[in-house]
Structure formats: structure tokens, C-alpha cells
Structure 1
Amino acid sequence: WSNTLVGYFVGKRIPYKIVKENLEKKWRKWGSVQVISGVDGNFLFKFNNSTSCEQVLSNGPWEVWGAYLALKRWEEGMSLCKDSFSSIPVWVKLSNIPAELWTRTGLSYIASAIGVPLCMDAATAAGNRLSFARVCVEM
């Protein structure tokens, strides 16, 4: 289960078949994923390897039928009820970043003003796009 993500759709229940079809198609470029219907509208997404799991996390946010998919890594002993999500990962767009803060440490420092920084999207991490940064923070 080490390469598994747990997620739920914020504000909407999406049928399993729709979730499976949509996300398998979106994530196929990183390998296969097993979509498992969980408790209380949650889903588990089991990947073949850690790289695929990390790619999905760092290339979000993801949505199906206009509903945002909140994702977090599975942890041993975690409850799969929606109520166990005491915080939610949110992607934020940071603009007008001073050049001296355009580093992993600098962007984490800025993002920490609103939450706990979790990861950056691929373009931000690689420094391929300097007009804005996208950082996922836990709020």
C-alpha cells in the first residue's frame, strides 16, 4: 500500500465508474492505477511504483465533473472516512515572486504563510515557468 493515494471529491459525490474512467485516462502516461471505491465517498488509488504516485501528486490539481479531488498519501493505520481528513491539500498559484525567493526553500517559505507546503507542480520544481509558481499546501 506504500504507493497508494487516498482522495475524495470536495462537495460532490462522483460515481465510481466515472472516477475510474476519467482518472485512468488522465494518469495513464505515468503507468497503471488501480481505482478502489472506499468508505463514505473516498477512493484509493494504488500505483505500481512511487514515481507514478509522485507524478500524480505533483501534477495536480485534478478534477472530475467539475469537482476538485483532494488527495493525500495513504499512511499505515489511517482511517478512510472523510471525517479523518482534518486538513485538505489545496493548490495555490503564487505570482510576482522576487527572483531571490525563486528556489525550493524560498517558495516553501512563501507558501508556509497560508499552510504547510507539500509539493510543487513539475514546471515550478524544474524552473521552466517563472511567471508564477504552483504549490500544494495543506490547510
Structure 2
Amino acid sequence: MDERLSFHEPKVVNGVCVVEPPDDVFELGVKEWSNALVGYFVGKRIPFKVVKEHLEKKWKKWGGVSVITGDNITFLFKFDNSAARDLVLSNGPWEVWGAYLALRQWEEGMSLSKDSFSSILVWVKFYNVPAELWTKPALSYVANALGVPLCIDAATTSGNCLSFSRVCILR
């Protein structure tokens, strides 16, 4: 593998070195990370090795994933394809050692720190939902009490199990 870098004459403005790579360099980087998720564990620090072993095992059925540590609090999950990334996002919630994993899709220019999470997706189980409220519009109203309702899971949609409903909300 060729690890050599190329030299580009730096631009100096008022005595300060300014880095201005061309658009194609940015586009290459965006393509490289476009199938990545950024996450952190709510309320608990989980060792990198444990996160890597648990989640690679859980997610490998959808494709390859690389687990990368960010700042010892955040993790990057780099997937082989967008389908695997989307399946992980839509099949949560995910937990390791009893700690909930907050996930969001990587975006160009985002900070890789926990502070970049101004909101998170949360799967919520609602118990004792009356049968007359077991509709998408009614569950939307119920979920509004906790956040912005986004979707319900397949079991809730089918209505085959009325012991609880599962709703994904933006919090």
C-alpha cells in the first residue's frame, strides 16, 4: 500500500497558513464517510473493544462495518453500503452492557463530539395503549408527549401483538 503524500504549496495570508483543498478533495472525503454513523452511549462509558465486538457481531448480517473510536466518548461506524447503515438506524434501539446507543448519520462538516447531538432518535415502548388508539394518527398524538414521532415498527403496524407499541421519536 502506497502511504506517500503529495506536496501542495501552502497559501499564506497575512502571515497565516491557509489550507484550501480543491472541491474534488472534499468530495472524495465525503464519499469515503457517506455510509457512516456517529454515536455515543447515554449515561455510560463502554470500552472500545466491547463496543467493537458486540456491534460488529450484531450488525454483520447486513454487511461489513468498521468500528472506530472518536474522542473516547463517541464512535464512528463505517458501513460497506448505505443499505446496511439504514438498516442499523431503522432497527434500533441498540444497547451494549445496558447502555443505550444514540446514533445519527454522519454529515459533511459535523463535529465528531457528543456535543454534535442536539437531538437523537429514540425507540419508545408504550404499554397499555387502548385498542382505539392503535392507529398511526393516534399513536402520533401519544408519541408527541415525548418528542417528534417519526415511525412505528412492523409489529405495531401489523397489530399482531397489542401488549405494547413501539414508536421512533426525535428527541
Of 97, 100, 105, which aligns to 1:73?
Answer: 105
The offset of 1:9, in angstroms, is 0.7
Specify the SS of the correspondent of 2:34.
coil
Partner of 1:9 in structure 2?
A: 41
CA shift in 2, pair 1:4/1:104, >3 Å: farther
Of 96, 106, 128, which aligns to 1:64?
Answer: 96
Q: TM-score, normalised by structure 1?
A: 0.82
The offset of 1:39, in angstroms, is 2.2
Q: How many pairs align?
A: 139
Answer with 1 or 2: which has the greater Rg. 2
**Is structure 2 residue 86 aligned with structure 1 residue 54?**
yes
**Is structure 2 residue 143 aligned with structure 1 residue 111?**
yes
Q: TM-score, normalised by structure 2?
A: 0.68
Structure 2 CA distance for aligned equivalents of residues 53 and 128 of structure 1: 28
- Contact kept, 8 Å, 1:9 with 1:67, in 2: the verdict is yes
1:14-29 aligned at under 5 Å gives the runs 14-29=46-61
Of 115, 122, 126, which aligns to 1:90?
Answer: 122
Partner of 2:170 in structure 1?
A: 138
Partner of 2:6 in structure 1?
A: none
The Cα RMSD (Å) is: 2.3
Structure 1 CA distance for aligned equivalents of residues 111 and 53 of structure 2: 26
Structure 2 CA distance for aligned equivalents of residues 50 and 126 of structure 1: 27
Of 24, 39, 61, which aligns to 2:71?
Answer: 39
The offset of 1:122, in angstroms, is 4.0
Q: State the structure with bigger RCO (CA 8 A, min sep 6), 1 or 2.
A: 1
Structure 2 CA distance for aligned equivalents of residues 74 and 39 of structure 1: 15
- Contact kept, 8 Å, 1:40 with 1:81, in 2: the verdict is no
The offset of 1:27, in angstroms, is 1.1
- Contact kept, 8 Å, 1:7 with 1:43, in 2: the verdict is yes
